[in-house]
Amino acid sequence: MINEKALRLCHALPDLHLPGGGLMDDTADAFIETFTLPGAADGPLGGLTLAVKDLYDVAGHVTGFGSPDWAAQHPVPEVHAAVVDRFLAAGATVLGKTHTDELAYSLLGVNAHYGTPKNSADPRRVPGGSSSGSVAAVAAGLVDIGLGSDTGGSVRAPASFCGVWGLRTTHGLLPLTGARPLAPSFDTCGWFARDGAVMARVAEAMGLPAAEAPTQLLLPVDLWAQADAETVAALAPALADLEARMGPACPVVLAPDGIDRWCETFRITQAAEIWQTHGDWVQAAKPEFGPGVAERFAMAAALTEGQIADARAHRLEIRQRLAAVMTAETVLVLPTCPSPAPLCNMDAAALDAFRSRALRSLCPAGLGGLPQLSVPAGVVDGGPVGLSLIGAAGQDRALIALAAAT
């Protein structure tokens, strides 16, 4: 639900205006603003509709970045974000802008100002963030493609929670010009779809390079150990299907020095970049952040130079480890998240604890700048759980092809 302040700022409309002139209710509360922006008539994505996360610029429309204070203090963009231009040139029709968590600094899709979009796969549960509106729009069937971004898991986790496909692209492979940054060395473009065929069409239309299929499955036992037993059991048939095609997965310990240490390095290096990027504005504007987001910004502000230097040095070691494990021939297979999405009625402390736990599974791809694809692969207590494939840099399309063939 959008509050009155947000309505004034973002001019939210109650219905989606479809290219053919009809109306469709926003049954998932996914959109913060709706409009129709037709794509090129003869592009490869012709006939497909797109929802745009509200951190990408769309000319003539407020980029609210999940924050009424941000929306009020920044000018309306005059040009589209580079990736929005690319989608339009490929023929996709934009139907509006979708909710995001405040400054994209969350993983659950709960926004204190704009509310929580509906997880159509299990309405008892949060949809996941920060690409909450885009995933909700796809899961509800309101659009074909949901444009999101992924810094710490903001495409992968929502995809798992809502039972759709979601791709975090290789870092730097797609331009983020005209997208609000969070932590630039982690920020990537990504998108959601309901099937592999659309995922593959988008990847090709976006100009992602073709790549040879990997031949060896790697099973990171330390990341599987993060998942609940019920999640492991639910994902077992999908893993078995992969192994039937590629041969038995080879067990590996991805983080010999401990996944907890990797997660802490992720937390510190990401937070340091976030504060460097937005600290001046936060101190000057004093925005009214919601629970969790406020505490994370306070943590980021309090980091010491020593903590940051140590974490950055460790990240270099992690990247060397990942480069040694991940080649064009290998692909990691793992649970996207340790369990289904949290229930909507969980308190803020429980939600934040879940976020911290999920980041243990999500941090490796971000630390390494690697592509990761989450695909629907099971259900636990009514909530979807996703299976992920992580490839070497540039293997994005190979991951989609591998998953679509299963």
Q: How far apart, in Å, are the Cα atoms of 348 and each of 106, 227, 292, 338, 363? A: 12, 22, 7, 19, 22
Mean pLDDT of the chain, nearest integer: 93
Alpha helices (runs of H) in 119-195, residue ranges in sequence order: 132-139, 156-162
pLDDT at 14: 35
In sign, the C-alpha dihedral spanning 204, 207, 210, 216 is: negative
Block residue for tokens 């729009």: 137
What would the pLDDT profile of 170-192 be if each residue is shown by its tens digit? Answer: 999 999 999 999 999 999 999 99
Q: What is the DSSP letter of 103?
A: G
What would the pLDDT profile of 362-398 be if each residue is shown by its tens digit? Answer: 999 999 999 999 999 999 999 999 999 999 999 999 9
Q: Is the pLDDT of residue 135 over 80?
A: yes
What would the pLDDT profile of 76-121 be if each residue is shown by its tens digit? Answer: 999 999 999 999 999 999 999 999 999 999 999 999 999 999 999 9
Q: Are strands 145-150 and 188-193 parallel, antiparallel or unpaired?
A: antiparallel
* Length of the chain (residues): 406
Answer for the pair 251, 360: CB distance below 8 angstroms, yes or no. Answer: no
What would the pLDDT profile of 15-64 be if each residue is shown by its tens digit? Answer: 444 443 444 589 999 999 999 999 999 999 999 999 999 999 999 999 99
Lookup: tokens for 205 = 């239309």
- What amino acid positions are annotated as catalytic residues? 53, 130, 154
Q: How far apart, in Å, are the Cα atoms of 319 and each of 270, 322, 393? A: 15, 5, 11
- Residue 10 pLDDT grade (very low, low, confident, very high; cuts 50, 70, 90): very low
Q: Is the pLDDT of residue 4 over 50?
A: no
Please work out, in degrees rounded to the nearest 5, the angle formed at the alpha carbon of residue 86 by the alpha carbons of 83 and 87. Answer: 90
What would the pLDDT profile of 280-294 be if each residue is shown by its tens digit? Answer: 999 999 999 999 999
